[in-house]
Amino acid sequence: MAGLVVVGVLAGSPSAAAQEVANGDSTWVGPWHAAMGLAVRLSSDSAAMADILAGAESALALGRPAQALELLSRHLLPDSMAEGAPLAIHAASQYALGAYVEAGRMFDRAASHAAGVRQGTLRARAAESYERAGLLGRASSLYQQAAIDFPDARGWLALREARVTRDPSRVRELLRLAPAAAHELAAEVRATLLAGAGDLGAAAEVLADVGHFAAAGRLALEAGDNGRARELVYRAIAVRDRDEAMTGVEIALAEFPPADQEGHLAVAQAISRYGQAAAAVRHAADAVTAGDSSIGTLLFYAEVTEASGNRWGALRIYEAAAKRGGEEAGEAEYRYARTYVRLRQRTRAFQALSAFLEKYPDHRRAPATTFLMGDLRQDQRKLREADSIFRALSERWPTDEFASSARSRLGARALVEGDLKRSTEIFRAEVEHRGSRARAAQFQIARLAKDAGDTVTALGEWATLARLDSIGYYGTMARQAAGLAAPVFAPPPATLPSPEVTRQLAVLDLLQAVDLRDEADALLDYLSDPDRWGVTELMDVAEGLIARGEARSAVALGWRIAGLHRLNDPRVLRIIFPWPNRQLLEREAREFDLDPFLLAALVRQESAFDADATSRAGARGLMQLMPATARGLARQLGVDWDNAFLGIADANVHLGAAHLAQMLRQYGGEIVPALAAYNAGGSRVRRWLRFPEARAGDWFLFIERIPFAETRGYVQTLLRNRELYSALYGEGIDP
């Protein structure tokens, strides 16, 4: 049946948003919902043109260009295909399939039905398609025409034209038009021009000047300058950019294998930075055998050995390093003892830690060593000895980070034993020393005062904490405990961005629409540079990025703006805590009976609203779902699924919201264990729910006791963020 081609893989239980699409009463909900919702309306041979185009666009957005083409061909007559919109979708589908000549031809035809910026966009898309197809003359002509349609992007399109032009004098003329933001891209074109003229050495230096050391090394190698090539390649290995460093490693291993300790160490360090521990171990071992290794080299060798999972092997290396003596021997002995802790060899670990502390009582690792000793004794249920160790740590190094952790343990123990006075004294000491746990301690002091019937002291402590930590977790909890009003933020100001920011963002729109990714990334970096704008203009830029789906970049910029301005400015807060997918999230919250502010807080924390986000573990999309979890959820919801949909915002949020709702049901509607399970998994949370704090329903203390710092911080951040989203975007505040 005509029309089912788009949604053939999506048939299943339609969501509420998909039903709205089907009823024709929905605004934008995303391609996944749209495809499901349009299924019935597209099943008719007399489907409306708007539905046909929406269905084709949805299929294309879902990564199914062949289905988009089939839908267009089944429903539209050849004469209707001559219109601009169907042609553009047809062209984009051909492009996605790699049929670049046909895509270029159809983009060009679609441009003839458009005008102004739209015409320039389509011409630029045609040019880029022809460029990919190798039809460089046609691409050059169209880039020129597109620049006429969109003069603000002239420099960027001139740079693109320079890439495809074979006339050296014309290339030099075009490069003079390149904008300042494109200096690295212009250098690449200039290097290509020089290389084409046979001057490989000069081309290499042009690339080296902009930090493209690996590519420069390749050119120097081709020029026969092996010495310069090796130097450039090893400079590439040392940079912090992953692609540059790993390309440098690849060239080095193929052309300039490390022959000395320094070379092996450089390769090993580069590899280890990006998680390839096993490969790093091999090169670190070669570095050790290539010469008289320093303790630093041995420590690195042991570190990557441990990271590869071979802790017993690392133990032997740390022991060998410690025997070298010298200033770093203490560090080696500390790591030796710590490795026994990680191996859960408690007796040996305690002995090694004690030996270290006796030998190096004033070492910078002494506080950490003391804490580990107390921790071991606590694990062994030798609680009095643990308390004694923690007290000694707190008294000797009162301002150290580990002293804060020790006081936290002591305060919790005193609470368990019912010694409220002692607990208050411990928490008060943490506040006085301004330790890392001072705000948690101040909250506890207020709780203890309230439990003792001293409401005045409790309210005073909470009020002070709410003022000092106005948008932090403990300040949020203090406001709630004291019954204080939530913060009130003024509605977003009705301001227009500066003309220059507006112009640059419009250029970014074109570059992204045309899929000129390198140019768009270069402009994005330029726009996000605080040295180029005043604070107000930076806010304009950040808000423009949020509106364009670049929330992650905007959030990073927002934190930099806060450093230049102030964090509590409502405009800055709305940049750091944006809500670019508000309509989508609110729909899903209604469908699964969730708090929309909690859902927004979770997406902000998981992905910063980046639909393409992928974690090291393989979690993907706005709500960072693992593929297996997504498949299971889809099966439960009766929805056919493709893991490619994890990168589609509305599909990912639909399943993520269902997952969160499922977690909340599992834990009786309690938010804290549900959020902990979302981050750490249900099996761990089931163990933690045996804590007496959980059985008593004391979720504040339960959070404090979560043994994983990541999960503890995750839950605290989400609870804080939920309150911030409510204050920033709540009732009476325009979206």
Beta bridge partners of 625: 620
Q: What is the rounded CA–CA span in Å between residue 545 and residue 539?
A: 10
- Tokens in use for 518? 């390198």
Nearest to 67 by CA among 4, 123, 143: 4
Beta bridge partners of 614: 620
Q: What is the rounded CA–CA span in Å between residue 339 and residue 332?
A: 11
CA separation, residue 19 to residues 22, 36, 599, 658 (Å): 5, 8, 22, 17
Write the secondary structure of 269-323 as one string of H (helix), E (strand) and C (coil): HHHHHCCCHHHHHHHHHHHHHCCCCCHHHHHHHHHHHHHCCCHHHHHHHHHHHHC
Q: What is the rounded CA–CA span in Å between residue 316 and residue 102?
A: 63
Burial class (CB in 10 A: 0-12, 13-18, 19+), 563: exposed
Nearest to 306 by CA among 335, 283, 274: 335
From 588, 606, 704, 723, the catalytic residue? 606
Give the sign of the dihedral formed by CA 571, CA 573, CA 578, CA 579. Answer: negative
List % helix, strand, coil for the chain (3-state, nearest 5): 75, 0, 25
606 has catalytic annotation: yes
Residue 704 contacts residue 712 (beta carbons within 8 Å): yes
| Exposure letters 303-325 (e unless 16+ CB within 10 A, then b) | bbbbbbebbebbbebbbbbbeee
Tokens 């203390």 sit on residue = 701
Q: What is the rounded CA–CA span in Å between residue 272 and residue 270?
A: 6
Residue 320 φ/ψ, nearest 5 degrees? -65, -40
DSSP classification of residue 565: S
Give the sign of the dihedral formed by CA 62, CA 65, CA 70, CA 76. Answer: positive
Give the sign of the dihedral formed by CA 80, CA 85, CA 91, CA 95. Answer: negative
Rounded to a whole number, what is the distance in angstroms from the first to the last CA of the chain? 41
Q: Show which residues are catalytic.
A: 606
